Amino acid sequence: MKVLCFGSLNIDYTYQVDHFVQKGETILSKDLQVFPGGKGFNQSIALARAGLKTYMAGKIGTDGLFLKKLLEENNVNTDFIKVSAVEKTGNAIIQNDKDGDNCILLYGGTNQTITREHMDSVLSAFEKGDVLILQNEINDMGYLMEKAHEKGLKIVLNPSPMDEKIEQYPLDLVDIFLLNEVEGAQLLKKKDISFEEMISELWDKYNTTTILTVGEKGAYYKDQQMFFHQEAYVVKAVDTTAAGDTFTGYFLKEYFSGNIRNALQIASLASSIAVTRKGAYPSIPTMEEVKERL
């Protein structure tokens, strides 16, 4: 089984602030750091650090060549990343407040100019039983999902960031949903709903394996036979930027090994380590670190 993460590669500009900027307000940031990022990049790193043989596909400009190098240094195959000589790599403006929460403004850049020819070329290297992991930061996702399904790939979707395009995708082709409580509420178009009701209704609506992460309340899992709840590990959060991406990588590593309970525990522990560190990619722990914490 080969694991392909086809997604975004970003340059993250992270500003340390007391509080998030409000409409009409100008504030000074206490610090600025530049990190590699993008949900595709982060999840590829997490998958590889968790121990899966990972392939990353996507597109960057020449300003993002360092992203490709970092992936390679983390044992991610980058043969399917295209480089544009004229376009700019996607980027993110991240505000990080004193409580460790964040808000993010994205610029798509090359993440939004991926061609169908590129997608077809990448998928030709994979076969039935391989896994395609997707987020919502690249263009033409519906086409990519349909072609992957035709080839018999298992499709994992993390519908983040949520927008109106999500419901235009062929969601009936998704084999595994990984999402948080905000995304779940948006998909169901409901606000006042318990987490147990949310995951049950997501299952009823999409009839596919669903993992719902709910921050300090832990995570929920539901498939046709099983329902689990995993408590969160209590830590002091510094930066939550890559917590969900870390959870995704570690959950899938253990899930494909056949132990769902263990997958929830390992993924929750890994993400609890990630939030105690600043930045996206630098915060993702190695499997050795996670096992030490166990």
Report phi then psi at 33, rounded to 5: -130, 145
Pairing of β 176-180 and β 10-16: unpaired
Compute the distance between CA of residue 36 and CA of residue 120 in angstroms, rounded to an integer.
Answer: 27
HEC letters along 153-206: CEEEECCCCCCCCHHHCCHHHCCEEEEEHHHHHHHHCCCCCCHHHHHHHHHHHH
Which listed residue (12, 130, 239, 245) is catalytic? 245
Compute the distance between CA of residue 166 and CA of residue 206 in angstroms, rounded to an integer.
Answer: 13
Pairing of β 31-37 and β 3-6: unpaired
Tell me how many degrees the CA angle 201-202-205 measures, rounded to the nearest 5: 85
Residue 142 near residue 52, CB atoms below 8 Å:
no
Report phi then psi at 108, rounded to 5: -65, -45
- In the residue annotation, 101 being an active-site residue is answered as no
- Point out the residues that are catalytic: 245
